[in-house]
Amino acid sequence: MATESRNPSSTMTHAELDARAVASAQALAAHVVQAKGHGHGGTAMALAPLSHVLFSRVLRHSPAHPDWPARDRFVLSAGHASLLLYTQLFFTGYGLTLGDLAKSRTLGSKTPGHPEVHHTVGVEMSTGPLGQGVASAVGMAMAARHESAVFTPGSTLLDHTTWVLAGDGCLQEGVSGEASSLAGTLGLDNLVLIWDDNGITIDSGTDETFSEDVRARYRAYGWRVLEIDTPNDLDALEATLRMAAERTGRPTLVALRTVIGSPSAKFGGASAAHAGGFGADELAAVKTTLGFAPDAPLDDLVTPETLAHTRGALTRGEHLHSAWEADLAAWSTADPAAAARWTAFHGGEFNSSALDTVNVGSAGDTIATRKTNGAVLRALQGSVPLWGGSADLAGSTTVEVDGDRFSAANPGGEFIRFGIREHAMAAILNGIALQGPWRPFASTYLVFSDYMRPSIRLGALMGLGAVYVYTHDSVAVGEDGPTHQPVEQIASLRTVPGLDVVRPADSVEVVAAWRRILASPDRPVALALSRQDLPVLESSDTTAAGVTAGGYVRWQHGDGQDLAILATGSEVHLAIDAAALLAEEGISARVVSMPCVEWFAEQSADYRESVLPAALRARVAVEAGRGDAWYRWVGLDGRVVSIEEFGESGSGPEVLRRRGIHLDAVIEAAHAALGASQLKESVGSLAQ
């Protein structure tokens, strides 16, 4: 607890300095937003006491060591209140300046409109889409608990707390409920969710849209619930937050009643406090209330005395970090083998040679790519920091590895059962990846990637190495019908910047793709795999390299200069069958397997030319899904064999044929492309 003793370098008591720090934080938020005419100051003002206590007294962090593995994590799920976080990063010494606060929400600043990880030191996660921070914090807590159990069982060396601050909007979003339910089931007592219960959303009071008993809901999830009804009492805040961090076998919800926009008399408690400035007159009134001159400029809102007080977090952090390093050294001496494993884990060292043991079969064998992928995961277990599970479909997607499930009683468990919570599963993967350095994976059917899409986008934006294992990748799913048959999902996922969408043609390509995936820890991957058995195709010494390049010539007749047939996944063997029949007509065709268009697009122009010569204008693309994006690769003279409508209930082969994915369709498209190309050549010759 803070005391009334005087700071030796100040004429003020600690309590007085704390009060000035809170007042400065509130004035800064109001001033910066008013100066810009946009932004979100109301929440930052109301939560200034809470954030000051958390960062100055409670949070286990060291601003001088922002990557300290055993630090507490703080996630601002209510990311619109970014000024709240930026102000504390400034006050406690993470490198931000008053000028950075003034430049918030401007191009090129260190303080973007919503927090961005890897952009601002001290920001643990990119947030803004409400509820995502809550769900990803669950993933962070899971990964932290798992790491501690795997490397330092019985020790608290790696133990730390994940804190997440959320508003009413976050708790209305379904993803937070899914994740909170799982957190309660798993007994994540290293997780504290602080709920800003201010009763206000953008349009109205929450009484119009959110009348449920949130506390009772979280108790039903299996959480402990603590209350804070005095949001400005710093000592009471500290006492409750310290209690929240205690290990009780349950995650903790701290329900904090606040008044948004406080201490503004005009905007306090109103929806209008959510966004935008309060106006010059009200800003002056707020500054006066807080003890500043009504026209005080930004620099006058933080006195040297106040800043010296808040920068005490640097000294406090050094003590915490030094004590931990001493504990780490003692552990390393007592158990050097375990310490070496942990150091290798954090150093990114792993051995992927186990991929060499995966049985890919022989040419002519038939193996579903989902089965080969399962064999890959089991082969890599223990040698690569992969950790994940499935949304209640492990047996069908074949991703379950040997061992036991992760649980409250077994935090070292090798496999995660996410339950039927696809959206939370994807967000939790983001949290696991952010906690690092695990490469998290999760699996469901491809059609349900739609449930995961917001979290996938956020993971791609953050550059996280999550692996989404999707099986049942086309209408070949068959009898389950159109609700379970993906059509637009592959095309849709390919539009996400920074996401690699990989659709292997056979077991050989699955293994080769994993070599590239493991070597690319900063890119998320959507791996689309077949339910049905696919033929293992003829391979060569260059096949693996071709897969990692994203596209390559898998089969060719003659010089392959008459026609190119591009295909992915289960359609590659169909393309080869078509090319072989065209060869009997004297047509020299090449089949380009393109398991990942993103990888292919980033190759050199010379490589792309070797696979798809510019002069080779007769091209056909074949894929059992929406074909819009393929015109980039086939050009105006090319043809696309695709599926442009939903499927039907029937056997896989029947539905594929009815929707136009069959040999005759590919042959017809090839002739059309050849005809268009030859016509253009003839016209060109006449023009000359």
CATH of domain 545-687: 3.40.50.920
Query: Half-sphere exposure of residue 556, counting CA atoms within 13 Å on the CB side?
Result: 15
List strand residue ranges (DSSP E) for 513-576, in order: 525-528, 534-535, 552-556, 563-567
Tell me the binding residues: 40, 80, 128-130, 168-169, 198, 200, 274, 370, 396, 448, 472, 480, 484, 531
Q: Do 353-535 and 545-687 show the same overall fold?
A: yes
Instruction: Check pLDDT > 50 for residue 616.
Output: yes
Strand partners, 254: 194, 226
Per-residue confidence band for 687, with pLDDT thresholds at 50, 70 and 90: low
pLDDT of residue 676: 82
- Please compute the mean of the pLDDT values over residues 6-30 and round it to a whole number: 88
First to last CA, the chain: 89
Check whether domain 16-319 has CATH 3.40.50.20, yes or no: no
Closest CA to 490 of 459, 543, 530, 520: 530
Per-residue confidence band for 8, with pLDDT thresholds at 50, 70 and 90: low
- Please compute the mean of the pLDDT values over residues 637-663 and round it to a whole number: 97
Query: What predicted TM-score, i.e. pTM, was given to this entire model?
Result: 0.96
- Please compute the mean of the pLDDT values over residues 576-602 and round it to a whole number: 98
CA distances 230 to 234, 257, 474, 652, Å, are: 9, 7, 56, 62
Tell me the binding residues for thiamine diphosphate: 80, 128-130, 169, 198, 274, 448
CB contact set of 38 (below 8 Å; sequence gap of 6+)? 105, 275, 276, 277
Lowest mean pLDDT among 11-15, 275-279, 498-502: 11-15
Per-residue pLDDT tens digits for 145-176: 999 999 999 999 999 999 999 999 999 999 99
Tell me the binding residues for substrate: 40, 274, 370, 396, 472, 480, 484, 531
In the chain, pLDDT over 70 holds for what percent of residues?
A: 97
pLDDT of residue 406: 98
- Please compute the mean of the pLDDT values over residues 530-535 and round it to a whole number: 97
Per-residue pLDDT tens digits for 376-420: 999 999 899 999 999 999 999 999 999 999 999 999 999 999 999
Tell me the binding residues for Mg(2+): 168, 198, 200
The full set of domain ranges for the chain reads 16-319, 353-535, 545-687
Q: Which of 173, 178, 414, 422 is catalytic?
A: 422
Pick the CATH number of 353-535 from 3.90.1640.10, 3.40.50.970, 3.20.20.10, 2.60.40.10: 3.40.50.970
Instruction: Check pLDDT > 50 for residue 1.
Output: no
- Please compute the mean of the pLDDT values over residues 72-79 and round it to a whole number: 98
Lowest mean pLDDT among 75-79, 130-134, 198-202: 198-202
Is 124 part of the annotated catalytic residue set? no
pLDDT of residue 4: 44
Per-residue pLDDT tens digits for 468-519: 999 999 999 999 999 999 999 999 999 999 999 999 999 999 999 999 999 9
